[in-house]
Structure 1
Amino acid sequence: MPKTAFKIGDIALKTPFVLAPLAGITDTSMRSLCWKQGASFVYTEMVSGKGLWYGDKKTNQLLKIGDPEEMTGFQLFGSDPEVMAFAAKELRDRSNALLDLNVGCPVPKVVKNGEGSALLKKLDVLQEVVAAMVKYAGKPVTAKIRMGFARNENTAVETAKALEDAGASAVAVHGRTREQYYEGSADWKVIADVKHAVGIPVIGNGDVMSGEDAVRMLDETGCDGVMIARGALGNPWIFREAEALWNGDMKPVTPSDNEKINMLLDHFALICADKGDNVAVREIRKHIGWYVKGMRGASYVKRTANKITQASELIELLRGLLK
């Protein structure tokens, strides 16, 4: 009999495995593919609170939800309580399930504005922002953090407690610091420490590259959920795999090269439908590299795809890989 997972506020998740918010990656197309492969929750790309404040059109485009059946969280970034309260009010009646605050983005231009990982150094401001969002959101507010800011810093427990006190319904913990970016290995012990310290659900994140990794993170840290990021790139099947192993079933057969190419073609078609052929041809290029990794002729395909400007030509190139 299938297990039950956990709740974020009153939101019941069917499995512990969720798709991480990834800038430039988790658009409606990526979210749809991962949802269909078993992700129990998906997040938008990072959305600017100031963008909503100023009515930026591109910001609103990031908030598009393709299939209303998908459990989707809007991830916002910002550090001004007034702006973030406004954003929460603006999004109150949207069909998203929750709002998530980014407290982990390491990108310099975000950090210099006092946003993303910079909030790890200002817990008083962080609490004000979260409390303001909670007051007006009308739905759960969560946050995604890193273990600390400086390379050898570990403030995850302190940060998670501050979030809980401010009214956050859950916290996702990436086991790296801001200064590490994505170097080295994620420290899963930090995730376990946070789980022991707070009463809200804890979602672990970092170095989950397979279904086995996802289940192992649950076992080793005691966390409630697992947020999968890079492991889903070119591999939406990771959610299907993780769910099967979590339920004690046999690991699904690894997708064949043909299955990968067909999924890539589906992915491309979804982007074309959502954003038009011209944009899709450019955006699918990064995904091609992930899907065809390890295949014979992968380097040629990536080089050729980078020169193609017509959707029909790209489809012909990819279909040529089918056996």
Structure 2
Amino acid sequence: MKNLTEFSGSERSRDLSRLKTLPKFYIREIPIFGDLILAPMDGYSDMPFRLLCHELGSAISYTEFINVDSLHGRVPNQVMARKLRFDSSEYPRTIQIYGHDEDRLVEVAQRMEAEYAPTIIDLNMGCYVKKIAERGAGSGMLRDPEKIGRVFSRLTHCLRVPVTGKIRLGWDEDTRNYIEVAKILEDNGASLIAVHARTKKQGYTGEADWNAITEIKQAVKIPVIGNGDVKTVADIDQIKAQTGCDGVMIGRGAIGNPWIFSRKDRRDVTPEEKIALMRRHVALNADFYGDRLGLVLFRKHAVRYIQKLVDGDDLRLPLTHCSAQLEFERIISEFEQVHEIARLTD
């Protein structure tokens, strides 16, 4: 079995070399060679999945979000250490943090820069989860624009790396303060704004308001990344044309379809390609987490990979109970034989 380094080195570089001509945009002085980006998603954007998305064209690697309270004055535990781990091929490497305490945000950001050498530090102001937002972290920060200004002023003055922010449109429909927040971010040194075009109260319900992204893009001079309701190649083209955004961040639409970063829709991915990537994902997970935990954490991806696969439902139950690589290989090999699916080789 290939290890993580072998999966993420020259093979990946060859695939991406054709894309790396001219930068699509810059985050301060850092060139970004692509306009499609895997969104930071807790429980999903771990290193194995990031590597696959990076290989297929995702232009920036974001960690899962990091709670500064869990690191303040503490050594990272095993779970946190995994979240902070990057492969050498990942660039630019972005650590996303969240928290409600200004001093802790600054202290932990400085530690992250010193100990993990990220390319960028990003502040999450978009998480809508109640226990986070109600405490004033994540999208809860949107209720205090002055605090956002103070935090960014401090971060951009004490860190050498660029500082970016991910926001929503506001707390609710009555407090859509995205233009105010965007200008505060720019005025206090932010190098990029990523915008999930919903309010905190919406969560993932309703439609994303791409017109708000257009307004933000027109209001600031720093790069703006659009996010929300991007599931197909047509969506990518539409959000870019409608908003003028510099790049497109894709979250839920990439789960089970990392090929979207190569501008390939789910329906256009062959069974052979799906199964080959599932094998690679399982191998990466097993190498990163260990055999059993790697398979357990793969299950949520598996149910998305098999969507639109002919008779894919036949795989759902066995894959969601699978806990070893050999068992996974047996299940997949039997499915290939029954459906006469050719096995792709590297």
Equivalence map 1:239-318=2 (5 Å): 239-241=261-263, 254-318=268-332
Return the match for 1:32 from 51, 68, 79: 51
Task: Give distance in 2, aligned partners of 1:128 and 1:209.
Answer: 35
Which amino acid is 2:76 matched to?
D
Return the match for 1:84 from 105, 122, 130: 105
Cα 1:16/1:77, change in 2 over 3 Å: same
The match for 1:56 is 76
Contact 1:89 1:136 in 2 (8 A): yes
Task: Give distance in 1, aligned partners of 2:219 and 2:310.
Answer: 48
Q: Does 1:226 align with 2:245?
A: no
Q: Does 1:134 align with 2:173?
A: no
Deviates most, 75-84 or 148-157: 148-157
Task: Give distance in 1, aligned partners of 2:117 and 2:208.
Answer: 33
Structure 2 residues without counterparts, runs of 5 or longer: 1-17, 342-346
Deviation at 1:50, TM superposition (A): 1.6
Cα deviation digits, residues 157-204 of structure 1 (max 9, x gap): 111111112211110111111111111111100000001111111110
Equivalence map 1:58-77=2 (5 Å): 58-77=79-98
Return the match for 2:120 from 91, 98, 105: 98
Deviation at 1:65, TM superposition (A): 0.1
Deviation at 1:95, TM superposition (A): 3.2
Identity %: 33
Runs of 4+ more than 6 Å apart: none
Deviation at 1:224, TM superposition (A): 1.0
Cα 1:321/1:258, change in 2 over 3 Å: farther
Deviation at 1:61, TM superposition (A): 2.3
Task: Give distance in 1, aligned partners of 2:185 and 2:226.
Answer: 16
Which amino acid is 1:218 matched to?
K
Deviation at 1:26, TM superposition (A): 0.5
Q: Number of residues paired by the alignment?
A: 315
Structure 1 residues without counterparts, runs of 5 or longer: 243-250
Cα deviation digits, residues 295-317 of structure 1 (max 9, x gap): 23323322222222332112221
Secondary structure in 2 matching 1:133: helix
The match for 1:190 is 212
Contact 1:146 1:178 in 2 (8 A): yes
Deviation at 1:151, TM superposition (A): 4.1
Deviation at 1:69, TM superposition (A): 4.2
Contact 2:267 2:308 in 1 (8 A): no
Contact 2:302 2:320 in 1 (8 A): no
Task: Give distance in 1, aligned partners of 2:138 and 2:266.
Answer: 37
Secondary structure in 1 matching 2:124: strand
Deviation at 1:252, TM superposition (A): 11
Contact 1:75 1:99 in 2 (8 A): yes
Contact 2:259 2:266 in 1 (8 A): no
Deviation at 1:153, TM superposition (A): 4.0
Deviation at 1:3, TM superposition (A): 5.6
Cα 1:68/1:86, change in 2 over 3 Å: farther
Which amino acid is 1:137 matched to?
L
Give the alignment's TM-score, normalised by structure 1: 0.92
Which amino acid is 1:73 matched to?
T
